[in-house]
Each structure stands twice: as structure tokens, then as C-alpha cells.
């Protein structure tokens, strides 16, 4: 998001000096923020009295309307952002669960029964790429929700008991899907007045 700030009481200086104040503000802010985006500066005077200098009355009025509109929309935007973050985490949780339960289901029976944790881990490491692809296709996981393969492999190498990976329970995924598709949109409707279609929370359908 582009940084934004307010240059208040801008009507207290004339047009020539206002240009200098505006330029100096941007120069100093750029040294502090160090972001590639240029900061958005709202220039106006926020009080109920007439402007002292009216050279830029149109600019003052437009910026005042814009920032007041953004401030009124801030609670709604905050709720939306938090909802998207929550849904993103739930989708990642769902993807991890689908991957881990599929990995558990594919470990050879003899290896689970007679093999050591080290041998099970080694087998999972060798087959991880294939297991990822098969789990994604079988459970209909969106590519964007899949864990990073390299990072997952590093975690797997440190897993003490790979034989204890969770087993598949459709109720777990059903509860997550309901939270994503129903619970969160309903909560947003009540709190922020945002309709469910605006959130686009539904899980993409699995690839054929």
C-alpha cells in the first residue's frame, strides 16, 4: 500500500511557499520511509473556518473529500484485510493437511510395520515430489495453496516420528471448507456489511 500522510493547515501559507513546504516534506519523508512508492500527501486544512489563502481551494476541497472518504471506509477495509488473512491461513492449513495425510497413506505397510523412523523418513524424502503432485490432484488443492516443496523437505528431515503423520479424516476438511465458504463470509456480513461475493473466499474447484 502507498504510504499516505496529511499536510494540515496548508491554507496558512501562500501558493509559492506551499510548493516549497510540499517539496521539503516529500524529500524528508523519502529519507525516512525508504520505499519505492512515492508517498501520497493530502493537502488541505481540516477545520470549520474559511481558508486563509485560497489559491488552491479546489485542491484543498478535493483532498479533504478524498481523505474523509478513506477514513470512513477504514473499518470496512480493515475487516476485509483480516478476513482475507484468516482465510489464507485456513487454506494453507487445509493444503498441509491434505499433503500430510496423503503421505501417510502412501507409506508401504511393511515399512510402517517393520521399518525404523529413519527409513520411513528416507522413503518420504525420495518420493516427496510425486506425493505432492498426487495429493494436489486427488484432494483438489489449488496450486497457490500448496506448501513450498524445498521448505517442506527441510521440515520433513527434522521430523522425529514420520510414522505418526495424521490419517485422512474428511470431517476435518469439511469443517475447514465450511469455515472458508460460510462462517467467515457470514461474519463479514454482520460486522462490516461486506457481501460474500466480494471476498472471493471459495476454494477453486479441483482440476479435471
| Bridge partner residues of 7 (DSSP) | 43
Banded model confidence at residue 5, pLDDT cuts 50, 70, 90: confident
Banded model confidence at residue 4, pLDDT cuts 50, 70, 90: confident
State mean pLDDT over 55-80: 84
Backbone angles phi, psi at 4, to 5 degrees: -130, 145
| Bridge partner residues of 42 (DSSP) | 6
**86-115 as b/e: b if 16+ CB within 10 A:** ebeebbeebbbbbbbbbbbeebeeeeeeeb
> CA 102, CA 137: separation in Å to the nearest integer?
11
**pLDDT: which is higher, 109 or 71:** 109
Q: Please, which residues have CB within 8 angstroms of residue 154's CB and are 6 or more apart in sequence? A: none
State mean pLDDT over 122-148: 95
> CA 182, CA 186: separation in Å to the nearest integer?
6
Q: What is the pLDDT of residues 28-40, one digit of tens each?
A: 887 887 777 777 8
DSSP state of 182: I
For the ranges 15-24, 111-120, 125-134, 169-178, the lowest mean pLDDT is seen at: 15-24
- Mean residue pLDDT of the chain comes to 85
Query: pTM score > 0.85 for this model?
Result: no
> CA 10, CA 80: separation in Å to the nearest integer?
33
State mean pLDDT over 139-144: 93
Whether 99 and 135 have beta carbons less than 8 Å apart is answered as yes
∠ CA 96-101-104, nearest 5°, is 130
State mean pLDDT over 76-89: 87
Amino acid at each position: 500500500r502507498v504510504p499516505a500522510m496529511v499536510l494540515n493547515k496548508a491554507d496558512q501559507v501562500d501558493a509559492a511557499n506551499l510548493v516549497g513546504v510540499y517539496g521539503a516534506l516529500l524529500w524528508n519523508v523519502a529519507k525516512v520511509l525508504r520505499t519505492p512508492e512515492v508517498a501520497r500527501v493530502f493537502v488541505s486544512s481540516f477545520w470549520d473556518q474559511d481558508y486563509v489563502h485560497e489559491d488552491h481551494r479546489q485542491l484543498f476541497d478535493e483532498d479533504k473529500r478524498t481523505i474523509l472518504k478513506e477514513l470512513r471506509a477504514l473499518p470496512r477495509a480493515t475487516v476485509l484485510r483480516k478476513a482475507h488473512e484468516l482465510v489464507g491461513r485456513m487454506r494453507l492449513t487445509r493444503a498441509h493437511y491434505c499433503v500430510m495425510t496423503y503421505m501417510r497413506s502412501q507409506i508401504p505397510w511393511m515399512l510402517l510395520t517393520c521399518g525404523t523412523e529413519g527409513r520411513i523418513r528416507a522413503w518420504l524424502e525420495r518420493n516427496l515430489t510425486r506425493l505432492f503432485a498426487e495429493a494436489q490432484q486427488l484432494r483438489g488443492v489449488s496450486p497457490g495453496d500448496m506448501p513450498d516443496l524445498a521448505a517442506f523437505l527441510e521440515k520433513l528431515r527434522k521430523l522425529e516420528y514420520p510414522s505418526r503423520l495424521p490419517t485422512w479424516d474428511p470431517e476435518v476438511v469439511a469443517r475447514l471448507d465450511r469455515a472458508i465458504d460460510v462462517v467467515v463470509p457470514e461474519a463479514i456480513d454482520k460486522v462490516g456489511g461486506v457481501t460474500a461475493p466480494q471476498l472471493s473466499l471459495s476454494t477453486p474447484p479441483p482440476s479435471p
